[in-house]
């Protein structure tokens, strides 16, 4: 058994972590949790993630849940992959900033839009994401005219943000802006992402008839 185990479903945020694992390039074992059989709510999995959500990883006995946390953990656990600035680099601050901007304001704003929730001006001041427009404008300011969020190389922050933007633009929860499309497209063509998509798409595809 691998010392790195990945719990996922191919129709979930686990696709983000599949991409991250393929970027890391270390062997890992995949365990698929099927929604229709309630695998994510089984006691064995709730012992790993009491939320009953995917993805999760277990690495050398260490449990990590939440996509941004898993990305940050894997980048640090396997520094040879070059997916995070060095620990004492001044780039570490903006790297964390944008990685967790994805986990916070972007997730919240997209969820609100998906449920047709339109906060009032007073509510926007109380909400961590403010408004959907505030979030999109902040992202555009970060990526416009840039290939990478931080420095001159691809990091886990790029992977996480590109995943969110791609998913949101495809499903209509994030407005298609030229700056977003220009930023996302080259990242989606990375070999690791293409491998990850092929793996997960094959898991979704129905089995051929006998």
Tell me the fold of 4-82+194-204: Glutaredoxin (3.40.30)
Query: How many C-beta atoms surround the C-beta of residue 112 within 10 A?
Result: 19
Average pLDDT over residues 94-102: 97
Look up residue 195 and give its DSSP letter.
H
- Does the pLDDT value for residue 11 go beyond 50? yes
Q: Which of 64-68, 118-122, 145-149, 165-169 is predicted least confidently?
A: 118-122
Q: Which of 11-20, 55-64, 74-83, 129-138 is predicted least confidently?
A: 129-138
Gap between the Cα atoms of 64 and 169, Å rounded: 28
Gap between the Cα atoms of 37 and 41, Å rounded: 9
- DSSP codes, 16-74: HHHHHHHHHT---EEEEPPGGGTGGGSHHHHTT-TT--S-EEEETTEEEESHHHHHHHH
Question: Whats the size of the chain, residue-wise?
Answer: 210
Give me the chain's average pLDDT, please: 93
Torsion-angle region of 60 (φ positive above 0: left; ψ -120 to 50: alpha; else: beta): left
Closest to 161 (Cα-Cα) out of 118, 114, 104: 104
Q: What percent of the chain has pLDDT over 70?
A: 96
Q: What percent of the chain has pLDDT over 90?
A: 82
Closest to 113 (Cα-Cα) out of 134, 98, 99, 97: 134
What 3-state DSSP class applies to 103?
helix
Gap between the Cα atoms of 117 and 78, Å rounded: 40
Residue 66 φ then ψ, to 5°: 75, 125
- Does the pLDDT value for residue 210 go beyond 50? no
pLDDT, one tens digit per residue, over 111-164 is: 888 888 777 777 777 767 778 899 999 999 999 999 999 999 999 999 999 999
- Does the pLDDT value for residue 49 go beyond 60? yes
Question: Given this model, what pLDDT does residue 101 score?
Answer: 95
* Domain ranges, ordered by start, for the chain: 4-82+194-204, 92-190
Helices (H), the chain: 14-24, 43-46, 67-77, 92-101, 107-114, 121-126, 132-143, 156-171, 178-188, 191-204
CATH code: domain 92-190 is 1.20.1050.10
Question: Given this model, what pLDDT does residue 132 score?
Answer: 87
pTM, to two decimals:
0.93
Question: Given this model, what pLDDT does residue 1 score?
Answer: 52
Question: Given this model, what pLDDT does residue 115 score?
Answer: 82
- Does the pLDDT value for residue 35 go beyond 80? yes
């Amino acid at each position: 058994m691998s010392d790195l185990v990945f719990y996922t479903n191919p129709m979930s945020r686990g696709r983000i972590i599949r991409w991250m694992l393929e970027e890391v390039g270390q062997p890992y074992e995949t365990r698929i949790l099927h929604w229709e059989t309630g695998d994510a709510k089984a006691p064995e999995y709730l012992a790993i993630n009491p939320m009953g959500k995917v993805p999760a990883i277990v690495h050398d006995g260490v449990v990590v849940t939440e996509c941004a946390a898993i990305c940050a953990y894997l980048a640090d656990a396997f520094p040879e992959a070059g997916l995070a600035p060095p620990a004492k680099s001044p780039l570490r601050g903006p790297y964390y900033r944008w990685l967790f901007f994805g986990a916070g304001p972007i997730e919240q704003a997209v969820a609100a839009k998906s449920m047709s929730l339109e906060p009032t001006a007073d509510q926007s001041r109380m909400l961590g994401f403010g408004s959907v427009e505030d979030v999109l404008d902040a992202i555009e300011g970060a990526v416009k005219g840039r290939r990478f969020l931080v420095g001159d190389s691809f990091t886990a922050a790029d992977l996480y943000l590109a995943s969110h933007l791609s998913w949101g633009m495809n499903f209509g929860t994030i407005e298609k802006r030229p700056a977003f499309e220009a930023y996302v497209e080259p990242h989606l063509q990375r070999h690791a992402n293409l491998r990850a998509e092929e793996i997960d798409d094959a898991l979704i595809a129905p089995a051929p008839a006998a």
